Chains A and B, each alone.
Chain A
Amino acid sequence: MNKDQVIDLLPQFITGSLGPEEALAVSRALANAPELMADLRLALRLHDTFQAELTAPPPFPQALYQEAGQRPHSLIPSSLRGSIKTLRQARGITSSAIKMALNFIGN
């Protein structure tokens, strides 16, 4: 692998999208050619700067679900759905316990 090929593969090397054999070849080439370190530094700085600019994307288009004839997604994030279910179950248990306590007192 010559230096130009290594430089061309650096973006895929740092994003982890090279196969193991190519990644190993790039690592060896970098170890044997210190002059490529400037290219590696540039690749890492560009990657870091672009990644720092990324923001959360907007929600998936609901029109797509409507087009597919399905009910649109719940507005509640999936990460909270489990918590809400747990709260509902807890509310059910609490109200049952109160009813039992009232019955006990009443008796």
Chain B
Amino acid sequence: MDTNLRLAQAGNPTAFERLLSPYLAGLYGFIRKRVGQMAEDVYQETLLAAWRALPGFKEDASLKTWLYAIAGYKCADALRRQSRQPRQEERQEDAAVPGFEEDSAQRLDVKAALSSLDQEGQDLLYLVYSEGFTQAEAARILGIPLGTIKSRLYHLRRHLKDRLEGERP
């Protein structure tokens, strides 16, 4: 068993931080993509929830998938809470997230193509193409059946290739 995992499960928070450190930038990117300006709070809630649930974590599962699945639940919770907030706060959440100021023309093309997709499609592409999750893992994180994930990915790829390269598979 991984030493950091064993120590973290025994209640050592430094070992827990070391254990998760390779995943934190990608995890924060995933949360930011899903919940925008609520990301910092949801990120903290996710790590606290993971810490509390860690004693029950079984090593035969992937720690990264487990962590992202918790983040998926926390994002869904935050979005539900947000939908009950007054309209003014909703507009604040819709404000642009910084980080694209120095994009190349190619990235801007991809971003424009991505923005034509619904949020679930963008989340799925992020998990698979940025974080390298398998389709089965992405299905678990997003809480969507594997067959739906396969079909969605097929259509998303075709749509993006049409937009970016004018090609058909």
Hey, which bits of chain A sit against chain B, CB under 8 A? 7-8, 11-12, 14-17, 38-39, 41-43, 45-58, 60-61, 63-65, 67-68, 70
For chain A, what secondary structure do more than half of its interface residues adopt (helix, strand, loop), or is it mixed? helix
Give Cα distance in the complex from A11 to B153, angstroms.
12
As a 0/1 sequence over residues 26 to 69 of chain B, the CB contacts with chain A under 8 angstroms (1 = contact) are: 11110011000000100110011001000000000000000000
Give the tally of cross-chain contacts (CB within 8 A): 104
Partner of A67, one of B14, B51, B99, B165: B51
Give Cα distance in the complex from A65 to B8, angstroms.
12
**How far, in Å, is A84 (CB) from chain B's closest CB?**
19
Assuming the contacts A46-B129, A50-B126, A68-B13, asked whether A41 and B107 have C-beta atoms less than 8 A apart, the reply is no
For chain B, what secondary structure do more than half of its interface residues adopt (helix, strand, loop), or is it mixed? helix
Report the 5 A-B pairs with minimum CB-CB distance, sorted nearest first: A15-B132, A50-B130, A57-B28, A46-B129, A49-B110
Across-interface contacts of A68 in B (CB, < 8 A):
11-13, 51
**How far, in Å, is A58 (CB) from chain B's closest CB?**
5
Give Cα distance in the complex from A72 to B40, angstroms.
19
Across-interface contacts of A53 in B (CB, < 8 A):
29, 33, 99-100
Contact yes or no, B24 A57, CB < 8 A:
yes
Nearest B residue to A72 via CB reads B13
Contact yes or no, A58 B28, CB < 8 A:
yes
Hey, which bits of chain B sit against chain A, CB under 8 A? 11-14, 16-17, 24-29, 32-33, 40, 43-44, 47-48, 51, 99-100, 103, 106-107, 110-111, 114, 125-126, 128-135, 153, 157, 160-161, 164-165, 167, 169
Contact yes or no, A55 B28, CB < 8 A:
yes
5 other contacts beyond A17-B132, A49-B110, A49-B111, with CB at 8 A cut-off? A11-B128, A48-B110, A55-B28, A55-B32, A68-B13
Assuming the contacts A50-B130, A57-B28, A67-B51, asked whether A45 and B110 have C-beta atoms less than 8 A apart, the reply is yes
Across-interface contacts of A70 in B (CB, < 8 A):
13-14
Assuming the contacts A53-B100, A63-B48, asked whether A46 and B110 have C-beta atoms less than 8 A apart, the reply is yes
Contact yes or no, B165 A41, CB < 8 A:
yes
Nearest A residue to B133 via CB reads A11
Give Cα distance in the complex from A12 to B136, angstroms.
13
Contact yes or no, A38 B161, CB < 8 A:
yes
Contact yes or no, B129 A54, CB < 8 A:
no
**How far, in Å, is B25 (CB) from chain A's closest CB?**
5
Nearest A residue to B64 via CB reads A17
Partner of A55, one of B99, B134, B161: B99
Contact yes or no, A12 B125, CB < 8 A:
no
Contact yes or no, B107 A7, CB < 8 A:
no
